[in-house]
Every structure is written in C-alpha cells, then in structure tokens.
C-alpha cells in the first residue's frame, strides 16, 4: 500500500474510537484486520501499530486540539473531522519522518473525501494553529 492508503486505513480505524468503548477496541481491531483483503501482513501490522500509538496519546492530542480550537470543544466536533485532526496531530508531533505540511495536506484531502463540505476548511484551520 502507498503511504496515503495506509494513512487512510489508520483514519478509518481511528474513526471507530468514537463509537466503541476501550474494552471493545481489541475486537474492533480484529474485525477491521479481517476486512483488509489483499493487505500484506506488514501493512496490516503498520496500520494497527500506528492506531495503537495514537490511541495511547489521545489525551495529549485532544488537549492540544482543544487549545487550538477556541470555541469548539473536542466532544462537539464532527467525528470524521476529529479523527482526521487526531491523526494529523499525531503525525505532526510524534512522527519526525512526516513533514508538517504533508500531515496537514493529507488530512485535508481525506476531509474532502469523508467529511462534510465544511470539513476541509475546519480541519485546515485547526491544524494551521497547531503547526
């Protein structure tokens, strides 16, 4: 898979966090892994590992998002937008091999595909404040 495709899969997995309890996430990861047809073991391991690393840092990531998004509580953000922002913030803060501009651009592109008409601008606005 390309890096973009891997990122998209991590986003789709991360989106599930808002709908399932911590206790259910192991089962969700197993179900998601079963859906990844044609995905190499290496790519599946990358997706699940990155997902777990993001979830471990969610409190820190959400605190940063909350500071950057004045007037918007994290709990009130659209689920798609929040998952994309979380992914991008993780890449910006914790992955040195991902340039900040790339993390922001990829989040905006995914927002165009999965979010509402307002999602790209909202995601860009929050991430620009964190850059």
- Tell me, what's the pLDDT at 44? 84
- Tell me, what's the pLDDT at 21? 67
Task: Tell me the three-class secondary structure of the chain, residue by residue.
Answer: CCHHHHHHHHHHHHHHHHHCCHHHHHHHHHHHHHHCCCCCHHHHHHHHHHHHHHHHCHHHHHHHHHHHCCCCCHHHCCHHHHHHHHHHHHHHHHCCCCCHHHHHHHHHHHHHHHCCCCHHHHHHHHHHHHC
Q: What is the fold of 3-130? A: N-utilizing Substance Protein B Homolog; Chain A (1.10.940)
- Tell me, what's the pLDDT at 101? 95
The domain ranges of the chain are 3-130
pLDDT < 70: residue spans in the chain = 20-22, 25, 28, 36-37
- Tell me, what's the pLDDT at 61? 95
- Tell me, what's the pLDDT at 73? 85
- Tell me, what's the pLDDT at 13? 86
pTM exceeds 0.95, yes or no: no
- Tell me, what's the pLDDT at 22? 67
């Amino acid at each position: 898979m390309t890096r973009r495709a891997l990122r998209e899969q991590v986003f789709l997995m991360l989106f599930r966090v808002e709908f399932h309890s911590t206790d259910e996430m192991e089962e969700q990861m197993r179900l998601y892994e079963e859906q990844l047809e044609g995905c190499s073991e290496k790519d599946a391991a990358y997706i699940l590992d990155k997902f777990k690393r993001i979830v471990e840092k969610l409190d820190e990531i959400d605190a940063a998002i909350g500071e950057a998004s004045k007037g918007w509580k994290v709990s009130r953000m659209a689920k798609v937008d929040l998952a994309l922002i979380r992914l991008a913030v993780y890449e910006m803060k914790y992955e040195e091999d991902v340039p900040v501009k790339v993390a922001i651009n990829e989040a905006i592109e995914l927002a165009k595909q999965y979010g509402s008409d307002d999602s790209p601008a909202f995601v860009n606005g929050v991430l620009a404040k964190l850059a």
